[in-house]
Amino acid sequence: MPYAQISNLDFNDIKVVLKEYMRTQSDFTDYDFEGSVLSNLLDVLAYNTYYTAFNTNMAINELFIDSATIRDNVVAIARQLGYRPRSITSSTAYVNFTVEYANPTTDVELILRKGTGFVASFNNKIYQYITPVDVKTQVVNDVATFTNVLVKEGTQIENQFIVNTSNKSQRFILDNRNIDTDTIQVEVFADGSSFSEPYLLADNILDVTSTTKAFFLNEIEDQRYELIFGDGVIGKKLDDQALIVVRYVVTNGPEANGIRTFVFSGILENEFGISPLSFDTTINSTVAATGGEEIESIQSVKYSAPKTFGTQNRAVTVSDYSALVRNAYPSVGDIIVFGGEDQDPPQYGKVFISVKPRDSAYLTSFSKQKILDELKKYAVASIQAEIVDPSILYVELNSKIFYNSSITDLTASQIAALVTKNFQSYIERSDTEKFNGKFRFSKAVSVIDDSAKAINSNLTTVKMRKDFYPQLNSTTYYEICFQNAFDKDCDGPTLATTAFRVTEYPNFDVYLEDRDGKIVLYRLDAITGEKVVLDKEVGDINYEKGELMMYDLTIIKGSFFDNRISVRVNPLSYDIKAAREVYLDVDVANSTFIAYKE
C-alpha cells in the first residue's frame, strides 16, 4: 500500500483514505458502492483503525501528568517526581479532662491507652476519637488531670506480616482504604524475639544509611498503601522470618470536623497495667475537631507534584514555602507567603506565612507549631518562618432591588431569595474570596440585575467589616488596618461598632464612631435613644490609609459569646482589594437583599 498522508483519524476520513488506495489498483471495482461486500470490509478496516488510534491516544495521554485522567496513573507519575499524594486526614481535637477515683488509691500514675479515647455524636452518626499513643499523667489526691490530649477521629487497625526473603515478589500492602498515613506506626520483631524495633517513615533518601530503621510508603491501586523496607544500602534490610506489626487509623476524613462534645470511652490503667475499679471522668474543655480532609484529588496532585519537585527539599522561594505548608497541613483553603521586606515596617530575615483553613477562620496553636516544626527540616541559612493569622476583611452589601411585578409571578421575597442565591453562586465561582482577592462592584451589581428578567435596577451600598478579639481586662492599644481608604465625606460617621463594655462604664453598652478624625466613645440614652458621648478621644482614624488606632482601652466584655467586636466602615471606593495577610471574604449571610415593586 503506498504511503498516505494521515491528517485526521476520524472514521469517515480513514475510509476515504482506504478508498483512495483502492482506486490505485484494478483488482476490485465495487469498493465505492455502499451496499457491496468490499465496502463493508472497508468499514470494518476503518473502524479498526479508528479504535486503535483512539486507544493509542488515550494510552499516550496517561503517560503525562498534565493529560492523565486515571488516578493510579497520575499517582505513578507523581511518584517519579518524588511526590506522594496526601492521604485522607483524620480530624484532630484536643481534650482536657480529669479522672477522680471513687475510693482512695495508692496509684501514682494513670495511663490512657493508645487506640482508645472518646466517642461523639454528630449529624446523627457516632464517631470514635482515639489517642495514637499512650498518654500518662500523675495522680494527685486521688485525681488525675489530663491536659491537651490529642485525639484523632477513626478506628485503629493492626496488620501483621512475616518476612520471607526467599519470596522475591513479597509485598507489604495494607488491607484498608481511608488510611490516615500520618498515623502509621511500624514495629519489627526479630524471629522469635519479644522485643521490637520501631521503624520510621522516610520521605526521601537523605540521611538514610544502610543501618537506618526506616520504611518508605507508596500509594498503589485503589487508594491503598504499600510499605517498602530497606535493601541494606538505602535503609536497613529486614531479616528472614521477622514479624512486622503495622498500626494505623482508618478515618471518615472531614465528616467529623467541628465536633467539640465528647463522651469518655477510653481504657485507663495504672503503672502496673491495672484499671481502676470505679472512677468519674469530667471533660473540662476541648479544642474543636479540625483538619479532617479527603484524600488528595487528581487535580490537586497535578498541581502540587511539580511544585513540590521544584522545592528540591529546601525552603527558599515563596512557592517552596507554599508547597511545603500544603504538604504539612492538608486542610489549607488558601495560603499566602511574603518576605519580611514587604512588611510595614520591614522585618528582614523573616518569611511570613498566613493560612486560611478550609473549615475555620484560623489555625490552632497546635497546627501552627506542627507546620513550623516541619518547615525547620527545609530551612535555609538564618531565615526564620513565622505564621501570622489571616486578617479577614469582610465585605457586606445592602441592596435595594426594584422589579416590575407585571411581568413575573414571583413575590418580593422570592425575588430577594433568587438574587441571594445567584449572588452566592457568583462569589463561589469568581475566585473573589482569597488572599490578594478583589471585589469588583460593577460585576456584583450586574449579577443582581441579571438574576431575573423582571429586575429593572438595584441600589447597592458596600461596607467593610473586621472582627477583633480584645484583651479582656487589660489596657491595650489596638490598631485595625483595612488596607482600603475610608469615605470621610459621607453623611454621618464612617465608623460604627457593635456594643461592648469598658472598665470605666461597666454598666453601659458602649460604642465607637468617628468625628473629625477622632474616635469617640459613646452610649445610647435608655429613654431617648440619643448618643451620649463618654470620651471625645479614644483614638484616631486615618481615612487615606484605612486605619484605626485606639489608645488605652480597657475592654471587659465583647459583643458576642466569644467576646469579639465587629467594626464597620464605609469605603471610599466600592472596589475592595486585599493584600499580604488580609483575606477577602464576601459575607453574603450578613448582607441584605430587599426587593421592591415598581
Running DSSP on this structure, what letter comes out for residue 369? H
Q: Could you tell me how many residues make up the chain?
A: 598
User: DSSP secondary structure string, 19-43?
Assistant: HHHHHT-SS---TT-TTSHHHHHHH
293 strand-pairing partners: 89
* Contact predicate 507/524, CB 8 Å: no
Q: How far apart are CA 283 and CA 145, in angstroms?
A: 10
pLDDT value of residue 2: 52
Running DSSP on this structure, what letter comes out for residue 559? S
In angstroms, how far apart are the furthest CA atoms of the chain? Answer: 110
Q: Which three cell numbers stand for residue 361?
A: 477562620
151 strand-pairing partners: 93
Q: 135-140 and 384-388 as β-strands: parallel, antiparallel, unpaired?
A: unpaired
Give the pLDDT of the chain (598 residues) as one tens digit per residue.
455 555 667 777 777 777 777 777 777 666 666 767 777 788 888 888 888 888 888 889 999 999 999 999 999 999 998 889 999 999 999 999 999 999 999 999 999 999 999 999 998 899 999 998 999 999 999 999 999 999 999 999 999 999 999 998 999 999 999 999 999 999 999 887 888 899 999 988 878 899 999 999 999 998 999 999 999 999 999 999 999 999 999 999 999 998 989 999 999 999 999 999 899 999 988 888 888 999 999 999 998 888 888 877 788 888 888 888 888 887 888 899 988 888 777 888 888 999 988 877 888 888 888 889 888 888 877 788 889 989 999 999 999 999 999 999 999 999 999 999 999 999 988 888 999 999 999 999 999 999 999 999 999 999 999 998 899 999 989 999 999 999 987 678 999 999 999 999 999 999 999 998 899 999 999 889 899 999 999 999 999 999 999 988 899 999 888 899 999 999 999 999 998 889 999 999 999 999 999 8
Half-sphere exposure of 37 (CA within 13 A, CB side): 1
Count CB atoms within 10 A of the CB of residue 29.
12
Count CB atoms within 10 A of the CB of residue 126.
9
* Contact predicate 334/359, CB 8 Å: no
Q: Which three cell numbers stand for residue 502?
A: 469598658
437: closest CA among 399, 483, 469, 468?
483
Q: Return the SS3 of 358.
A: coil
Question: What's phi and psi for 475, nearest 5 deg?
Answer: -75, 115
Question: Residue 104: left (phi > 0), alpha (psi -120 to 50), or beta?
Answer: beta
* E-state strands within 517-564: 518-524, 531-542, 547-557
**What sections of 357-475 are H helices per DSSP?**
365-376, 412-429, 441-449
How much of the chain is in helix, strand and coil states, percent to nearest 5? 20, 40, 40
91: closest CA among 329, 334, 297?
329
Q: Which three cell numbers stand for residue 7?
A: 491528517
Q: Which three cell numbers stand for residue 585?
A: 471574604
Count CB atoms within 10 A of the CB of residue 520.
20
The kind and range of the H/E element at 331 are: none
Three-state SS string over 207-263 comes to: CCCCCCCEEEEEECHHHCEEEEEECCCCCCECCCCCEEEEEEEECCHHHHCCCCCCE
pTM of the complete model: 0.69
